[in-house]
Protein backbone atom coordinates (compact mmCIF):
# COMPACT_ATOMS: atom_id res chain seq x y z
CA UNK A 1 0.00 0.00 0.00
CA UNK A 2 1.51 3.29 -1.08
CA UNK A 3 -1.06 5.40 0.80
CA UNK A 4 -1.48 8.13 -1.82
CA UNK A 5 -3.82 10.59 -0.10
CA UNK A 6 -5.00 13.87 -1.61
CA UNK A 7 -6.66 16.54 0.52
CA UNK A 8 -9.78 17.25 -1.51
CA UNK A 9 -10.31 20.62 0.14
CA UNK A 10 -6.82 22.05 -0.52
CA UNK A 11 -5.98 20.36 -3.86
CA UNK A 12 -6.30 23.00 -6.59
CA UNK A 13 -6.35 20.39 -9.41
CA UNK A 14 -3.28 22.10 -10.90
CA UNK A 15 -2.06 18.78 -12.30
CA UNK A 16 1.57 19.23 -11.25
CA UNK A 17 1.61 15.80 -9.56
CA UNK A 18 0.28 14.19 -12.74
CA UNK A 19 2.96 15.87 -14.87
CA UNK A 20 5.84 15.17 -12.49
CA UNK A 21 5.23 11.52 -11.59
CA UNK A 22 8.13 9.60 -13.24
CA UNK A 23 6.00 6.45 -13.43
CA UNK A 24 3.05 8.37 -14.88
CA UNK A 25 0.58 6.60 -12.63
CA UNK A 26 -1.22 9.65 -11.21
CA UNK A 27 -4.44 10.39 -13.05
CA UNK A 28 -7.03 13.09 -13.08
CA UNK A 29 -10.60 12.49 -14.07
CA UNK A 30 -12.85 15.48 -14.40
CA UNK A 31 -13.07 17.54 -11.26
CA UNK A 32 -12.11 14.70 -8.92
CA UNK A 33 -8.81 14.90 -7.04
CA UNK A 34 -5.88 13.05 -8.62
CA UNK A 35 -5.65 9.35 -7.87
CA UNK A 36 -3.52 6.26 -8.42
CA UNK A 37 -5.38 3.13 -9.48
CA UNK A 38 -4.76 0.15 -7.18
CA UNK A 39 -3.47 -1.90 -10.11
CA UNK A 40 -0.83 0.78 -10.82
CA UNK A 41 0.42 1.12 -7.25
CA UNK A 42 3.18 -1.42 -7.81
CA UNK A 43 4.73 0.97 -10.35
CA UNK A 44 5.22 3.68 -7.72
CA UNK A 45 8.96 4.07 -7.04
CA UNK A 46 8.27 5.99 -3.82
CA UNK A 47 10.25 9.03 -4.95
CA UNK A 48 7.71 11.36 -3.25
CA UNK A 49 7.81 13.80 -6.18
CA UNK A 50 4.02 14.14 -5.87
CA UNK A 51 4.38 15.30 -2.27
CA UNK A 52 7.32 17.57 -3.14
CA UNK A 53 5.82 19.27 -6.20
CA UNK A 54 2.33 20.02 -4.86
CA UNK A 55 2.13 23.83 -4.39
CA UNK A 56 -0.80 23.40 -1.97
CA UNK A 57 0.84 20.74 0.24
CA UNK A 58 -2.26 18.65 -0.44
CA UNK A 59 -0.56 15.30 -1.09
CA UNK A 60 0.63 12.72 1.36
CA UNK A 61 2.23 9.44 0.29
CA UNK A 62 3.56 6.49 2.25
CA UNK A 63 2.34 8.13 5.43
CA UNK A 64 4.47 11.26 4.92
CA UNK A 65 2.87 14.53 5.97
CA UNK A 66 3.93 17.39 3.62
CA UNK A 67 4.04 19.69 6.65
CA UNK A 68 7.07 17.69 7.84
CA UNK A 69 9.05 18.60 4.69
CA UNK A 70 11.37 21.60 4.54
CA UNK A 71 9.68 24.30 2.47
CA UNK A 72 11.84 25.32 -0.49
CA UNK A 73 12.10 28.89 -1.71
CA UNK A 74 14.70 30.82 -3.66
CA UNK A 75 17.74 31.01 -1.41
CA UNK A 76 17.12 27.62 0.19
CA UNK A 77 20.10 26.13 -1.64
CA UNK A 78 23.72 27.26 -1.24
CA UNK A 79 24.66 29.90 -3.83
CA UNK A 80 26.72 28.73 -6.81
CA UNK A 81 29.79 30.59 -5.48
CA UNK A 82 29.51 28.73 -2.18
CA UNK A 83 29.10 25.37 -3.89
CA UNK A 84 32.00 26.04 -6.26
CA UNK A 85 34.23 27.01 -3.35
CA UNK A 86 33.27 23.78 -1.61
CA UNK A 87 34.05 21.67 -4.68
CA UNK A 88 37.36 23.48 -5.24
CA UNK A 89 38.31 23.76 -1.57
CA UNK A 90 37.34 20.31 -0.28
CA UNK A 91 40.51 18.28 0.35
CA UNK A 92 41.39 14.70 1.11
CA UNK A 93 42.30 14.99 4.77
CA UNK A 94 44.99 12.64 6.04
CA UNK A 95 45.66 14.24 9.43
CA UNK A 96 43.04 14.02 12.16
CA UNK A 97 42.46 15.16 15.73
CA UNK A 98 42.21 12.36 18.27
CA UNK A 99 38.58 13.24 19.08
CA UNK A 100 35.15 11.86 18.32
CA UNK A 101 32.85 13.80 16.02
CA UNK A 102 29.76 15.06 17.86
CA UNK A 103 27.27 12.16 17.54
CA UNK A 104 24.42 14.63 16.89
CA UNK A 105 26.27 16.00 13.86
CA UNK A 106 26.95 12.50 12.61
CA UNK A 107 23.30 11.48 13.01
CA UNK A 108 22.26 14.60 11.12
CA UNK A 109 24.65 13.93 8.23
CA UNK A 110 23.69 10.26 7.90
CA UNK A 111 19.97 11.02 8.04
CA UNK A 112 20.28 13.60 5.25
CA UNK A 113 22.35 11.12 3.24
CA UNK A 114 19.25 8.96 2.83
CA UNK A 115 18.11 11.63 0.35
CA UNK A 116 20.97 10.97 -2.08
CA UNK A 117 19.68 9.70 -5.43
CA UNK A 118 19.70 5.98 -6.19
CA UNK A 119 18.91 4.22 -9.48
CA UNK A 120 15.11 3.82 -9.79
CA UNK A 121 14.96 5.16 -6.23
CA UNK A 122 15.75 1.68 -4.92
CA UNK A 123 17.54 3.19 -1.91
CA UNK A 124 18.61 -0.06 -0.19
CA UNK A 125 21.95 1.38 0.93
CA UNK A 126 23.52 0.51 4.27
CA UNK A 127 25.70 3.04 6.06
CA UNK A 128 28.07 1.15 8.36
CA UNK A 129 29.89 3.55 10.59
CA UNK A 130 32.56 3.37 13.27
CA UNK A 131 31.52 6.35 15.34
CA UNK A 132 33.92 5.91 18.24
CA UNK A 133 37.67 6.53 18.02
CA UNK A 134 38.50 3.73 20.49
CA UNK A 135 36.52 1.26 18.39
CA UNK A 136 38.35 2.62 15.34
CA UNK A 137 41.68 2.00 17.07
CA UNK A 138 40.68 -1.62 17.76
CA UNK A 139 39.61 -1.97 14.13
CA UNK A 140 42.93 -0.48 12.98
CA UNK A 141 44.94 -2.90 15.13
CA UNK A 142 42.92 -5.89 13.90
CA UNK A 143 43.46 -4.73 10.32
CA UNK A 144 47.21 -4.31 10.77
CA UNK A 145 47.52 -7.71 12.49
CA UNK A 146 45.47 -9.26 9.68
CA UNK A 147 47.62 -7.58 7.03
CA UNK A 148 50.79 -8.83 8.75
CA UNK A 149 49.41 -12.39 8.67
CA UNK A 150 48.42 -12.13 5.04
CA UNK A 151 51.88 -10.76 4.20
CA UNK A 152 53.55 -13.60 6.14
CA UNK A 153 51.42 -16.14 4.30
CA UNK A 154 52.72 -14.67 1.03
CA UNK A 155 49.24 -13.59 -0.09
CA UNK A 156 50.22 -9.95 -0.53
CA UNK A 157 52.23 -9.87 -3.72
CA UNK A 158 53.74 -6.67 -5.06
CA UNK A 159 50.83 -6.43 -7.46
CA UNK A 160 48.79 -5.24 -4.47
CA UNK A 161 51.04 -2.17 -4.51
CA UNK A 162 50.90 0.33 -1.69
CA UNK A 163 48.88 -1.91 0.67
CA UNK A 164 51.86 -4.29 1.00
CA UNK A 165 53.69 -1.47 2.79
CA UNK A 166 50.93 -0.98 5.37
CA UNK A 167 51.92 -3.60 7.97
CA UNK A 168 55.66 -2.75 7.91
CA UNK A 169 54.84 0.98 8.17
CA UNK A 170 52.63 0.29 11.20
CA UNK A 171 54.84 -2.17 13.02
CA UNK A 172 58.21 -0.54 12.21
CA UNK A 173 57.32 3.15 12.38
CA UNK A 174 53.86 3.31 14.00
CA UNK A 175 52.58 4.95 10.80
CA UNK A 176 49.03 4.26 9.63
CA UNK A 177 49.08 4.60 5.85
CA UNK A 178 45.69 2.90 5.46
CA UNK A 179 43.32 4.65 7.88
CA UNK A 180 45.46 7.78 8.24
CA UNK A 181 44.87 7.91 11.97
CA UNK A 182 41.22 8.82 11.34
CA UNK A 183 38.82 8.42 14.26
CA UNK A 184 35.91 7.24 12.11
CA UNK A 185 35.10 5.03 9.13
CA UNK A 186 32.02 5.04 6.93
CA UNK A 187 31.38 2.09 4.63
CA UNK A 188 28.43 2.39 2.28
CA UNK A 189 27.15 -0.84 0.76
CA UNK A 190 24.38 -1.65 -1.69
CA UNK A 191 22.05 -4.61 -1.76
CA UNK A 192 22.65 -6.90 -4.76
CA UNK A 193 19.15 -6.26 -6.12
CA UNK A 194 19.98 -2.54 -6.54
CA UNK A 195 19.74 -1.32 -10.11
CA UNK A 196 23.05 0.61 -9.99
CA UNK A 197 24.91 -0.52 -6.85
CA UNK A 198 28.28 1.07 -7.64
CA UNK A 199 26.82 4.41 -8.67
CA UNK A 200 24.49 4.48 -5.64
CA UNK A 201 27.29 3.76 -3.18
CA UNK A 202 29.76 6.23 -4.65
CA UNK A 203 27.16 8.97 -4.99
CA UNK A 204 26.18 8.58 -1.33
CA UNK A 205 29.83 8.86 -0.32
CA UNK A 206 30.34 11.90 -2.56
CA UNK A 207 27.33 13.59 -0.96
CA UNK A 208 28.63 12.64 2.49
CA UNK A 209 32.02 14.14 1.70
CA UNK A 210 30.57 17.48 0.63
CA UNK A 211 28.16 17.70 3.56
CA UNK A 212 30.81 16.64 6.07
CA UNK A 213 33.37 19.14 4.76
CA UNK A 214 30.78 21.92 4.79
CA UNK A 215 30.30 21.05 8.50
CA UNK A 216 34.05 21.45 9.16
CA UNK A 217 34.94 17.75 9.09
CA UNK A 218 37.76 16.15 7.14
CA UNK A 219 37.16 13.15 4.87
CA UNK A 220 39.16 10.93 2.57
CA UNK A 221 37.98 8.28 0.16
CA UNK A 222 39.82 5.12 1.12
CA UNK A 223 40.57 2.58 -1.58
CA UNK A 224 43.17 1.09 0.75
CA UNK A 225 40.52 0.41 3.41
CA UNK A 226 38.46 -1.32 0.74
CA UNK A 227 41.49 -3.47 -0.18
CA UNK A 228 41.91 -4.37 3.49
CA UNK A 229 38.27 -5.44 3.67
CA UNK A 230 38.68 -7.49 0.49
CA UNK A 231 41.73 -9.22 1.97
CA UNK A 232 40.28 -9.79 5.45
CA UNK A 233 36.75 -11.27 5.34
CA UNK A 234 36.59 -11.34 9.16
CA UNK A 235 36.88 -7.56 9.22
CA UNK A 236 34.29 -7.30 6.45
CA UNK A 237 31.97 -9.25 8.74
CA UNK A 238 32.75 -6.80 11.55
CA UNK A 239 31.73 -3.94 9.26
CA UNK A 240 28.63 -5.89 8.30
CA UNK A 241 28.98 -5.94 4.52
CA UNK A 242 26.99 -8.88 3.21
CA UNK A 243 28.80 -11.16 0.71
CA UNK A 244 28.23 -10.04 -2.86
CA UNK A 245 27.32 -6.47 -1.90
CA UNK A 246 29.18 -3.62 -3.56
CA UNK A 247 30.80 -1.25 -1.06
CA UNK A 248 33.29 1.55 -0.64
CA UNK A 249 34.94 3.25 2.32
CA UNK A 250 35.56 6.78 3.57
CA UNK A 251 37.50 7.97 6.59
CA UNK A 252 36.41 11.07 8.45
CA UNK A 253 36.88 13.09 11.58
CA UNK A 254 37.87 16.49 12.91
CA UNK A 255 40.81 17.64 10.80
CA UNK A 256 44.24 18.43 12.26
CA UNK A 257 45.06 20.42 9.14
CA UNK A 258 43.60 23.57 7.64
CA UNK A 259 44.00 24.36 3.96
CA UNK A 260 44.56 28.05 3.34
CA UNK A 261 43.47 28.05 -0.29
CA UNK A 262 41.95 25.98 -3.08
CA UNK A 263 44.02 23.94 -5.51
CA UNK A 264 43.93 24.91 -9.20
CA UNK A 265 42.59 21.98 -11.18
CA UNK A 266 39.79 23.63 -13.14
CA UNK A 267 41.37 22.22 -16.32
CA UNK A 268 41.79 18.79 -14.72
CA UNK A 269 39.10 17.17 -16.81
CA UNK A 270 38.83 17.39 -20.56
CA UNK A 271 35.61 19.02 -21.68
CA UNK A 272 34.51 17.63 -24.99
CA UNK A 273 31.72 19.28 -26.93
CA UNK A 274 29.67 16.55 -28.56
CA UNK A 275 29.16 17.16 -32.25
CA UNK A 276 25.90 15.53 -33.20
CA UNK A 277 25.92 14.50 -36.89
C1 LIG B 1 38.04 6.30 -5.30
C2 LIG B 1 39.13 6.98 -4.52
C3 LIG B 1 39.96 6.23 -3.69
C4 LIG B 1 40.94 6.86 -2.92
N5 LIG B 1 41.70 6.12 -2.05
C6 LIG B 1 42.60 6.74 -1.25
C7 LIG B 1 43.33 6.00 -0.27
O8 LIG B 1 43.20 4.79 -0.13
N9 LIG B 1 44.18 6.67 0.53
C10 LIG B 1 44.36 8.03 0.43
O11 LIG B 1 45.15 8.59 1.19
N12 LIG B 1 43.69 8.76 -0.50
C13 LIG B 1 42.80 8.16 -1.32
N14 LIG B 1 42.07 8.89 -2.23
C15 LIG B 1 42.26 10.34 -2.31
C16 LIG B 1 42.97 10.79 -3.59
O17 LIG B 1 44.32 10.47 -3.50
C18 LIG B 1 42.74 12.31 -3.71
O19 LIG B 1 41.39 12.53 -4.00
C20 LIG B 1 43.59 12.95 -4.77
O21 LIG B 1 44.96 12.85 -4.45
C22 LIG B 1 43.26 14.44 -4.94
O23 LIG B 1 43.39 15.16 -3.72
P24 LIG B 1 42.15 15.96 -3.13
O25 LIG B 1 41.05 14.97 -2.84
O26 LIG B 1 42.64 16.65 -1.90
O27 LIG B 1 41.69 16.92 -4.18
C28 LIG B 1 41.11 8.26 -3.01
C29 LIG B 1 40.28 9.01 -3.86
C30 LIG B 1 39.30 8.39 -4.59
C31 LIG B 1 38.39 9.21 -5.44
Whether the CB of 113 sits within 6 Å of ligand 1 = no
Task: Answer positive or negative: Cα dihedral of 196, 199, 203, 204.
Answer: positive
Q: Which residue's C-alpha comes closest to atom 25 of ligand 1?
A: 92
> CA 43 to CA 211: how far, in whole Å?
32
Is the Cβ–Cβ distance between 17 and 54 less than 8 Å?
Answer: yes
Fold of 5-68: Alpha-Beta Plaits (3.30.70)
Q: Between residues 29 and 266, which one has the greater pLDDT?
A: 266
Cα torsion 136, 137, 138, 144 to 10°: value is 110
Tell me if 129 sits within 8 A of 110, measured CB to CB: yes
Q: What is the pTM of this model?
A: 0.96
Per-residue CA distances from 217 to 130, 163, 206, 227 (Å): 15, 26, 14, 24
Architecture field, domain 82-253: 3-Layer(aba) Sandwich (3.40)
Indicate the domain borders of the chain.
Answer: 5-68, 82-253
List, for residues 221-275, the tens digit of each pLDDT value: 999 999 999 999 999 999 999 989 999 999 999 999 999 999 999 999 999 999 9
CB atoms within 10 A of CB 42: 9
pLDDT exceeds cutoff 90 at 151: no
Please give the pLDDT value at position 193: 86
Report the pLDDT value the prediction gives residue 155, as an integer from 0 to 100: 81
What was the pLDDT predicted at 65?
97
Closest Cα to atom 18 of ligand 1: 92
Nearest CA to ligand 1 atom 21: 92
User: What pLDDT score does 131 carry?
Assistant: 98
Q: Is the CB of 224 under 6 A from ligand 1?
A: yes
Look at ligand 1, atom 10, and give the residue with the nearest C-alpha: 222
Check pocket membership of 221 for ligand 1, CB cut-off 6 A: yes
Q: In whole angstroms, what is the distance from residue 175 CA to residue 169 CA?
A: 5
In sequence order, the β-bridge partners of residue 247 are: 189
Is the pLDDT assigned to residue 158 strictly greater than 70?
no
Predicted confidence at residue 159, as pLDDT, reads: 67
Q: What is the pLDDT of residues 54-110, one digit of tens each?
A: 999 999 999 999 999 999 999 999 999 999 999 999 999 999 999 999 999 999 999
Looking at residue 154, its pLDDT comes to 83
Do 90 and 246 meet the contact criterion of CB atoms below 8 Å apart? no
Task: Answer yes or no: is the C-beta of 101 below 6 A from any ligand 1 atom.
Answer: no
How many A from CA of 71 to the centre of ligand 1? 36
The pLDDT > 90 percentage for the chain reads 92
Percent of the chain exceeding pLDDT 70 equals 99
Inter-residue contact 240 to 269 (CB < 8 Å): no
Q: What average pLDDT does the segment 116-138 reach?
A: 97
Ligand 1 atom with the shortest distance to the CA of 227? 8
Q: H/E/C letters for each residue in the chain?
A: CCCCEECCCCCCCCCHHHHHCCCCCEECCCCCCCEECHHHHHHCCCCCHHHHHCCCCCEEECCECHHHCCCCCCCCCCCHHHHHHHHHHCCECCCECCCCCCHHHHHHHHHHHCCCCCHHHCCCEEEEEECCHHHHHHHHHHHHHHHHHHHHCCCCCHHHHHHHHHHHHHHHHCCCCCCCCCCEEEEEEECCCCCCHHHHHHHHHHHHHHHHHHCCCEEEECHHHHHHHHHCHHHHHHHCCCCCCEEEEEEEECECCCCCCCCCCCCCCCCCCCCCC
Whether residue 139 is predicted with pLDDT greater than 90 in this model: the reply is yes
- pLDDT tens-digit map of 187-209: 999 988 899 999 999 999 999 99
Burial of 210 (0-12, 13-18, 19+ CB in 10 A): middle
* 198 pocket-lining for ligand 1 (C-beta < 6 Å): no
Pocket perturbation via mutation, ligand 1, pick of 222, 227, 230, 264 by most ligand atoms within 8 A of CB: 222
pLDDT value at residue 134: 98
Which atom, in ligand 1's list, is nearest to the CA of 226?
A: 8
Is the distance from CB of 15 to CB of 47 less than 8 angstroms?
A: no
First-to-last C-alpha distance (Å) of the chain = 47
Amino acid sequence: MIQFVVNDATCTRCGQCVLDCPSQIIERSGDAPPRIRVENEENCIQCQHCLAVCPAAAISIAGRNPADSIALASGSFPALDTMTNLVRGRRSVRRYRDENVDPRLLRRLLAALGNAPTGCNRMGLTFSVIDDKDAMQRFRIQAMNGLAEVTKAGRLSESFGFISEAAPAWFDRGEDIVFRGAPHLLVVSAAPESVCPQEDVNLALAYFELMAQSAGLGTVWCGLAKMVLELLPDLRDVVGVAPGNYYYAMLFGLPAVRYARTVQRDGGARVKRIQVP
